[in-house]
Structures are given as structure tokens and as C-alpha cells.
Structure 1
Amino acid sequence: MMTAFIVEDEPLARQELAFLLENSREVEVVGEGSTLTKSYEAIRNAAPDVVFLDIELAEGTGLHLAEKLQELPKAPSFVFATAYDEYALQAFELHATDYLLKPFDEQRINQCIEKLQRMIPSAMGSKSQIKKLPIMENERISLLDIRTILYITTQGGKTQIKTLQKLFHLNEPLASVEKKLTNSSSFMRIHRSYIVHLEHVTALEPWFNSTYNLVMEDGSKVPVSRTYVKEVKERFGL
């Protein structure tokens, strides 16, 4: 399912757009904002697939916000949703995916969603997103719910998966496991030997040479190498 954030300073218009998007059953609205500054920070934290932007906002223009969004490491797609048609050329110069005019039309919204689905791999539906990870143990294949994974590491050339309840040992390289988790935005490589499940991180603890340890739900600490510090801080909105 595609995730979306709406930036609109008119409450009724924001409510209508959110309803039409979620009514399609292809989009989950993960956040809403009415001002540029707060919306930008919220979008950085939520990391949606697409942002629906009004152009004429009380404190500025959605065009400026679109420019800032393109500078993010994992920039979202964006669609302008506005009552003004004169900004269309500027919008597409900024590589907008679509340009919606108010009042919103359900058929037109659905056309926009279909266009976004063709452009965003993670929007192709839950069938393409792995929920279970096959684990070979005791000569049988178990299917591990990825939501239970704290982190994945390689130690002494062996790959290990740590959950709250158990430590699993795999006979495949870390890079192979990482590839299987590509469609899950909850996992992130933070070190050449570690991939973490971000939803299970409880704290960031400063370490030496401007690096960090991530404190996990079970109290274990996972190192962040200097190569990944900037990206980790950005994912947590720091």
C-alpha cells in the first residue's frame, strides 16, 4: 500500500482529499499538515511515498516545499492539489507526478493513484512486500514474522537474526537477507555487519568518533558506523 502525506491549510479540503485517497484502499494517509515548516519536519519523520501539496498556503508556497523535499536522501514523489491552474508549468518543471485541481473528483484521484503506482515500486500492493522471512532450522523451513526481528548481523562469517525471543543462525550472507527485505522500509543497514528494524529502536546513544549505538527493545546495543550516521539521524528527524 502506498503511504501519503497531505499539506493543505483548508481543513475541509484536507479532509476531503484524505477521504478520497483512503477510500481507494490503495493509499494510507500517514500524516497531515497545514504549515510549511511543521509539514517539512513531519514528512522527514514519516518518510511517505508521496506528498500531496497545496500551492497557496498561509505562510508561503507549496512550490518552495517541493524544492526542499527533493533534497531529502529518500525524496518522496509529490502531487500538487490546488485551486489554481496557472502553476502547472512550474509544478512539472519541479518533476511533479501529477497536478490535481479543486474541487476534487474521485475518478481523477483514482487516475492519479494509478499513475503513482506505476512509478513507486513500494506502492504495488502488499503482495510485493515480504511479511515472512524463511528460516532453515532443524531440517525444516520456518517462516519468521519480520515484525519480530530486532536486528540482523554477521559474526564470524555467519548471519544471525535476533528477535526478542530467540537468536536464529542462517547459512546465507547478510547481503542476501538484506535483498529480501528491500520492500520493507522498516529495515535499515547501519553498519557493514548490521541491519536493524527501526521500529524496535528505543534510543540513540553517543559513542566515540561521532558515532552512535542504537539501543534496542531488549536492551542490546547495535553500533552505527560513521558511514551511516547522517542517514540514521535523518531517519529519526535529528
Structure 2
Amino acid sequence: MTETLKVLVADDEPLASERLQILIERLDNVEMVGIAEDGDEAVALTEELKPDLLLLDIAMPGLDGIEVARRLSRQDDAPAVIFVTAFDQFAVAAFEVAAVDYLMKPVDQKRLETALDRARAVIAAREEEGPRLRSDDDSKFLEEFWASDLSGLVRIASCDIERVTAERDYMRLHVGPKSWLIHHSMTALEQGLDPKMFVRLHRSAIVRRDFIAGFARNPSGRWVARLADGTEQPVGRIYSEKVREIAVR
């Protein structure tokens, strides 16, 4: 990678683009090479200008930011992507397309600098690794999540999650005594989490396999999973076969 980081900004809000331009101009070895006002223009300018990095809004006319990132990821020389948005509910979807970082508006100068450092590291690692073919062994599963709390956004490694429970339109990620809500569907999470590590036991619960201490029958004859923290998770009728699958291993 060249010493100067070439950045393309894609945002349909002029004030947001202007703010990013001001923040970028304060930095050494960072050059803003263009501004796109919607998703289609972001794809076209990326193909024309070959930036190292996209600072990409999510909610835009035409193609949204997630779809832009998805389309560009198919290219061999795809740029790194940092999402810049006013909405935290897109964090899971953002990392499904391998975003480097996820910034909340209004963007803070120090937070931007941290995100750009991450982008440089990712780009450098890609260049050192060199071009390679995709293989079936490449991870297709989510390795991390971002969730909001009072301090901002928190990165949560998938392997640290003990269980996921549904709360209406939200999913709660449990890690020890702490938990975070994310806006996502249970079905999408089931598909996104590695089935070798996680198992769905109920329409409203996914559990990490090694967090299951055992199974027992309740008074009505239904299976209940005993978890490592001493709590119990009922097993839904349609998921009862999962008990047998786990027990015979």
C-alpha cells in the first residue's frame, strides 16, 4: 500500500460529507479522492478512482451502503470499508460484509483516526497476503458483533457469546453477567453463527454448544438444557432432535 491512504466518501447528506472532509484534511497521509452522493455513484467512482478505503453511509438513495459493500467485495481489488451512519441497528449487517469499522455520526476526530489505523492494518495485511482464490474453507460465519451501550459501540466476539435470546424485534447477546441488544432476526443469526459452535434449541434461543452442561426432562416430559451458569433453557418441540444429535457425539 502507498504511504498516502486514498479515501472515497459516500454519503447523501452534504453536511455529513463536509464534516468528514474537514476531519480528513486535518490528517497526514490521508487524501480524499472523491465524494459520492448515493450508492450507484459510490460503485462507479470506486471503479474509476480505485480508492484504498470507502467511508460509506448506510441509508442512501438507490443502493444502500450494505449492498455497495457487498457488490464491491466481489472485486479482486476491493477497497476496505468503514461504515459511517446515524443508526446502530445495522452493525451486524455491516460486519457480515467484512467492514473494518463502524462509526456513529457525528464522527469524532480521534475515533476516525482509530478507524483509519485499523483500515491501514487490514490493507497492509491483504497486500502481504497477496491475491488468492476464495475457497470453501474460508469462514462464512460471523466472527464478531457490534452492539450499543451507554459508552458507544461495543465489539463482541462470537466465540464469547454464551447464548442468544429473542426479545420481540431484538436479539439479546449474553456474555457472562452482561448482555447487549442487537436489531436482527433469530433466523438470520442462526444462519450467521457457526453450527459447529452454536445450536438453536428454541424458536427464541440459540446456545453455544460448550455452554450446555446437560439435558433433563421436565415434569411434562419436555427436554430442558442445563447450562453452565446454572440456568435452564427449555428445548422447543421442533428442536428436540438437536438433543439426540448432541448426545450421540
Query: If the length of structure 1 is used for normalisation, what is the TM-score?
Result: 0.50
Q: TM-score, normalised by structure 2?
A: 0.47
Higher relative contact order, structure no. (Cα contacts within 8 Å, ≥ 6 residues apart): 1
